[in-house]
Amino acid sequence: MGANGDYIWQVSVDIDPAQEEEWNKWYNGVHVPQVLACPGFHRARRYKSPEGSPKYIAIYDIDDEKTLQSPELAAIRGWKQFTPFVKGPKAILYKKFVDEKE
């Protein structure tokens, strides 16, 4: 198993502007706490692009690729009530390859 911070999972998405306020309330208040309660998740950060697409990204510090296969994550994964308003979702897993001391 990787050490905290050896992997990050980046999720990017655009959301219909009419749903943006509700989306952000739900994402910050419900979804992020649910994800962080899943085994292997340690930290979440969200960013909003001032221009361009994708407009939102979330970056999660996770143990390793197996973290993304947990039943706990599978149970909460997705944006069920927002699916019709989500455009271009993309998720990418990254593994740290440079030690911070270098």
State percent of the chain over pLDDT 70.
91
What 8-state DSSP symbol labels residue 73? H
Confidence class of residue 8 from pLDDT cuts 50, 70 and 90?
Answer: very high
Give mean pLDDT, residues 50-76.
95
CA distances 48 to 15, 39, 53, 63, Å, are 11, 26, 10, 25
Instruction: Compute φ and ψ for 63, nearest 5 degrees.
Output: -65, -55
The Cα–Cα gap between 34 and 78 comes to: 12
Element (H, E) at 92: strand 86-95
pTM: 0.87
Binned at pLDDT 50, 70 and 90, residue 47 comes out as very high
Fold of the domain spanning 7-95: Alpha-Beta Plaits (3.30.70)
Domain boundaries, the chain: 7-95
